[in-house]
Amino acid sequence: MKIPFKLFVMERTLREPIKGMLIFCLIILFIGWGVVAMFPTWSESQGEALSEVGSEFMSVKELDKDNGTYEVAWMSLNDTLPFMPQDMLLEFFDNYSLTESSNSSMLDEQEVYRGNRTQIVLDGRTGGPYFYQLYILFEDPGNGQVMQYPFRNVSTEDIGKKTGLESFENLMDNPAYKAYAGGADIDIYSLKGFMVTEFFGFVPLMVGVYIAYLVAGVVSKEIEDKTADLVLATPLSRERFLIEKYIAMMMLALVIVGTMALSLYLGVVYIDTNEMTGGDILASTFIFYPLAMVIAGYSLILSVLFDEQKKAMGASLGVFLFTYALHLGSNISESLEGLKPYIPYHYANYQETLASGSMDAGDAGVLIAAGIVLFGIALYLFRKKEIYL
Amino acid sequence: MPTEPVIEIKGLTKYYGDVVGVKDLDLEVRKGEVFGFLGPNGAGKTTTIRVLMDFIRRSSGDVKLMGLDPETAPDDVQARIGYLPGEVGHYGGMTGRRFLRYLMDLRGIDCWERVEVLAERLDLDMSKRVKDYSKGNKQKLNLVQTFMHEPDLYILDEPTSGLDPLMQQEFYKLVMEEKTKGATVFMSSHVLAEVEHVCDRVGILKDGHMVALESMASLKDKTGKVLDVEFGPGVNVTVDMFDIEGVRGVKVHDHSLRMTVIGKVDPVIKRLAQYDVASMSFQPFSLEHLFLEMYGAEDIDDIKMNGSEENNGSGPNDSKDGLSDRDKGGARL
């Protein structure tokens, strides 16, 4: 018996989904490029949106309770009043006076800061509460006198309330955002932060769904269409058949992950930024390849178990979405935290990878090992499978 | 002189859960034989074939094909088998040429010349996409893939079902050629007439058991043709009108008579000539009739002929008599 050297089944398996793949990759290319390309505009519009928050733009943060250390911050008027000409703002408004009082009436207010900073740290404020009033200082163009205009106020009692600028900082502590940010310290206003929510939040989900869908069909479709009968009636072994199918799928996954990387790279070149390097892009996209191995692994098992393509696809999408939901859940809810080690997605921490620019070899190793084990199970099941007409 | 066994089945049993697929099946098919594996739908023919092909695994028993167990050496066995499934699945998007080349490539051999010869012979256009093929062309494609690598053993599941008469003749020719070359053919069918032209021997399977194993020659002695006669209105139709040697199972229905003619036809025709005959038809003997004859069952229902409704006893319209009339001659006894 001669065994063909060429991987005919693999070739065949690659040929089948080629049109769909092409469209899918084009979509990813467009999304990745588009999201990056959108960033500069988005970034600017965020500034404007913030300024519209207006009265709620001032915040107090407790830095050290024992020493009574607080940080008082406010948004620069430059950002707050963008409708004013920039030079006027600088001339008249970018000068602040901050007063403090232990009484909300501010009757005994004391100035604690005067200058053009927008953030100061105060020590020894034990007890409290403390109230702060921010004044804008400007020269009267008529007589040259310094005027002060009461602008915003805030108190230590406001700590924890989501107001103005602070609400975005609070967002970082928000469980839902945490789930997206994966615990990584990524500035939401940076390109990477933007990519976390706008690209990595859903493109890998799309990719996962697509791989689960593709792989679930590779065996079940042949059984359902009865083409498996003729193929397996040849001296080609079942193991060889499945291995070639798996290789084909992993090649497609490689193309998809490569397309993700390419799309981001094109975007970065387009907006000409160095906020995200080629290394960041490669690391944060290729961490999904080991994850794809796992998704392909269990999808292949389901493809072997189900004789109908639709059922296999349904089951495989179900497993994928379930593990994804668990992943999000485990980031939000502490009671699900214990599940983390068992959720494949947990080992593809794109936020951390994007922040650090390097892949965690241990995480990738876990996924690759799991992928190989799952494929082994699929192989075992397929060897034992009874194929009915 | 008996040749070496190509198929050896001993005590083959296959359960699907609690349901019996085949039970204690013993069978030996020798080299160069054309064996007809008969039985109604659901009798276990396909189960047996799928065990031989290692698509499903036996519950117990021994199976050897060309001396090898298909379960332990499936690839070596499959390399020497030409297999035609009961229902063939195609990759619709491929052209016929690509489809055949794919299957050839998977075998790791080059038999393209033979593919082209077969395609030409069957008048198959290989350049079209399979999904655009007519049913007949798909059947031709199936035959080409079965015969292309000139295997030692052919395992054919219902090869003739649905073949048009011309294709059927071509198929019989191919089978006989392969037999001459020394190949062994194992083919299943639920219609006796479809295999009687080519088979040396037939086995009849019923409810997973082999109920008969006969050479075609001895079977022919026991079978005959079914004659349906409708008489004119003036004739008083009775059962003993045809009390002739070689005529059996005479049944009356209104003005019609049905009988099985096993011996000579001549005396029957002479007797018929004495009456006013409105119409008549001669049909090949069906498997159902065979059961009735061989096992003396009173009714089709007694032998649970699951396939009897759709196949209802009549062979395809290639009856040599040219008299067959399916509608009228349906063997609804």
Least confident of A12-16, A105-109, B108-112: A105-109
Residue A368 Cα, gap to closest chain B Cα (Å) = 30
Q: Which of A176-185, A271-280, B258-267 is most confident?
A: A271-280
User: In 10 A of CB A110, how many CB atoms?
Assistant: 10
- Is the CB of residue B17 less than 8 Å away from at least one CB of chain A? no
In B, which residues are within 8 Å of A237 by CB distance? Answer: 74-75
Residue A227 Cα, gap to closest chain B Cα (Å) = 4
Mutation site, B19, B81, B106, B152, interface A, largest A CB count within 10 A: B106
Q: Is the pLDDT of residue A230 over 80?
A: yes
Token pair for residue A94? 């970018």
- The Cα–Cα gap between A261 and A168 comes to 29
Q: With respect to residue A373, please indicate whether it lies within any of the assigned structural domains.
A: yes
Mean pLDDT of B139-147: 94
Who has greater pLDDT, A384 or B163? A384
Choose the final residue of a domain: A127, A161, A195. Answer: A161
Nearest CA in chain B to A241: B106
**Which of A8, A9, A389 is the closest to B87 by Cβ?**
A389
Whole-number pLDDT of residue A161 = 53
Rg over CA atoms, chain A: 29
Could you report the predicted ipTM of this complex, rounded to two decimals?
Answer: 0.77
- The Cα–Cα gap between B96 and B102 comes to 10
- The Cα–Cα gap between B283 and B252 comes to 17
* Helix A8-15 × helix B96-107 angle, to 10°: 150
pLDDT tens-digit series, residues A255-300: 999 999 999 999 999 999 888 999 999 999 999 999 999 999 999 9
Sequence-separated contacts (24+) of A179-185 with Cβ below 8 Å:
A179/A328, A179/A331, A179/A332, A180/A351, A181/A351, A182/A331, A182/A349, A182/A350, A182/A351, A182/A352, A183/A331, A183/A351, A183/A352, A184/A349, A184/A351, A184/A352, A184/A354, A184/A355, A185/A355
Q: Are residues A209 and A344 in the same domain?
A: yes
Residue A261 Cα, gap to closest chain B Cα (Å) = 32
Q: Are residues A149 and A284 in the same domain?
A: no
* Helix A309-332 × helix A288-305 angle, to 10°: 140
**Which of A8, A230, A236 is the closest to B88 by Cβ?**
A230
Confidence of residue A221 (pLDDT cuts 50, 70, 90): very high
Confidence of residue A164 (pLDDT cuts 50, 70, 90): very low
Residue A72: CB partners within 8 Å, gap ≥ 6?
A: A58, A59, A60, A61, A98, A119, A120, A121, A122, A132, A154
The percentage of chain B sitting over the pLDDT mark of 70, rounded to a whole number, equals 84
- Is the CB of residue A381 less than 8 Å away from at least one CB of chain B? no
Q: Are residues A82 and A187 in the same domain?
A: no
Nearest CA among A58, A109, A113, A108 for reference residue A80? A58
- On the 0-12 / 13-18 / 19+ scale of CB atoms within 10 A, B4 is exposed
- Is the CB of residue A19 less than 8 Å away from at least one CB of chain B? no
Nearest CA in chain A to B101: A8
Q: Are residues A151 and A271 in the same domain?
A: no
Whole-number pLDDT of residue A92 = 59
Q: With respect to residue A169, please indicate whether it lies within any of the assigned structural domains.
A: no
- Is the CB of residue A278 less than 8 Å away from at least one CB of chain B? no
Subunit contact B76:A235, Cβ cutoff 8 A: yes
- Is the CB of residue A7 less than 8 Å away from at least one CB of chain B? no
- On the 0-12 / 13-18 / 19+ scale of CB atoms within 10 A, A203 is buried
Q: Are residues A108 and A27 in the same domain?
A: no
**Beta-carbon contacts below 8 Å between A and B:** 85
pLDDT tens-digit series, residues B195-205: 878 899 999 88
The percentage of chain A sitting over the pLDDT mark of 70, rounded to a whole number, equals 82
Q: Are residues A200 and A71 in the same domain?
A: no
- The Cα–Cα gap between A274 and B119 comes to 63
Nearest CA among A62, A70, A78 for reference residue A98? A70
Q: With respect to residue A248, please indicate whether it lies within any of the assigned structural domains.
A: yes
In A, which residues are within 8 Å of B90 by CB distance? Answer: 225, 227
Q: Are residues A287 and A197 in the same domain?
A: yes
Q: With respect to residue A47, please indicate whether it lies within any of the assigned structural domains.
A: no
Q: Are residues A192 and A133 in the same domain?
A: no
Subunit contact A226:B76, Cβ cutoff 8 A: no
Q: Strand A146-155 to strand A110-115: parallel, antiparallel, or no bridges (unpaired)?
A: unpaired
Range of the domain at A112: 58-161
- The Cα–Cα gap between A193 and B321 comes to 85
- The Cα–Cα gap between A366 and A369 comes to 5
Subunit contact B75:A12, Cβ cutoff 8 A: no
Token pair for residue A196? 């976390």
Q: Which residue type does B232 have?
A: G
Residue B107 Cα, gap to closest chain A Cα (Å) = 6
Subunit contact B106:A236, Cβ cutoff 8 A: yes
Q: Is the pLDDT of residue B95 over 80?
A: yes
Q: Are residues A33 and A64 in the same domain?
A: no
Whole-number pLDDT of residue A126 = 80
Choose the final residue of a domain: A104, A126, A161. Answer: A161
Whole-number pLDDT of residue B295 = 58
Q: Which residues pair with B248 in a beta bridge?
A: B260
Mean model confidence pLDDT for chain A:
84
Q: With respect to residue A53, please indicate whether it lies within any of the assigned structural domains.
A: no
In A, which residues are within 8 Å of B46 by CB distance? Answer: 389
Subunit contact A6:B53, Cβ cutoff 8 A: no
Residue A28 Cα, gap to closest chain B Cα (Å) = 27
Choose the final residue of a domain: A161, A193, A222. Answer: A161
Under 8 Å between Cβ of B8 and B62: yes
In A, which residues are within 8 Å of B81 by CB distance? Answer: 233
Q: Is the pLDDT of residue B306 over 50?
A: no
Q: Which residue type does B111 have?
A: C
Q: Is the pLDDT of residue B326 over 50?
A: no
Who has greater pLDDT, A127 or B272? B272
Mean pLDDT of A40-62: 63
Token pair for residue A347? 């080992």
The percentage of chain B sitting over the pLDDT mark of 90, rounded to a whole number, equals 47
In B, which residues are within 8 Å of A234 by CB distance? Answer: 78-79, 103, 106-107
- Our CA angle for A355, A357, A363, nearest 5°, is 90
Confidence of residue A132 (pLDDT cuts 50, 70, 90): confident
Length of chain A in terms of residues written: 389
- Is the CB of residue A38 less than 8 Å away from at least one CB of chain B? no
Within chain A, what is the greatest distance between any pair of CA atoms? 105
Nearest CA among B157, B153, B130 for reference residue B141? B130
In B, which residues are within 8 Å of A236 by CB distance? Answer: 75, 106-107
Mutation site, A234, A240, A309, A387, interface B, largest B CB count within 10 A: A234
Least confident of A40-54, A119-133, A323-337, B293-307: B293-307
Subunit contact B83:A233, Cβ cutoff 8 A: yes
Subunit contact A235:B88, Cβ cutoff 8 A: no
Residue B72 Cα, gap to closest chain A Cα (Å) = 11
Q: Are residues A238 and A361 in the same domain?
A: yes
Q: Is the pLDDT of residue B301 over 50?
A: no
Mutation site, B14, B55, B111, interface A, largest A CB count within 10 A: B55
In B, which residues are within 8 Å of A388 by CB distance? Answer: 50, 55-56
Mutation site, A229, A237, A241, A242, interface B, largest B CB count within 10 A: A229
In B, which residues are within 8 Å of A8 by CB distance? Answer: 102, 105-106
Phi, psi dihedrals of residue A179, rounded to the nearest 5°: -60, -40
- Is the CB of residue A107 less than 8 Å away from at least one CB of chain B? no
State how far the alpha carbon of A243 is from the alpha carbons of A298, A334, A376, B169, B280, in Å.
14, 40, 10, 41, 62
Q: With respect to residue A211, please indicate whether it lies within any of the assigned structural domains.
A: yes
Q: Is the pLDDT of residue B148 over 90?
A: yes
Q: With respect to residue A176, please indicate whether it lies within any of the assigned structural domains.
A: no
Residue A39 Cα, gap to closest chain B Cα (Å) = 43
Residue B217: CB partners within 8 Å, gap ≥ 6?
A: none
Q: What is the number of domains present in chain A? A: 2
Subunit contact B75:A9, Cβ cutoff 8 A: no
Subunit contact A235:B56, Cβ cutoff 8 A: no
Q: Are residues A38 and A72 in the same domain?
A: no
Q: Are residues A241 and A355 in the same domain?
A: yes
Mutation site, B53, B57, B75, interface A, largest A CB count within 10 A: B75
- The Cα–Cα gap between A269 and A202 comes to 22
Mean pLDDT of A216-221: 95
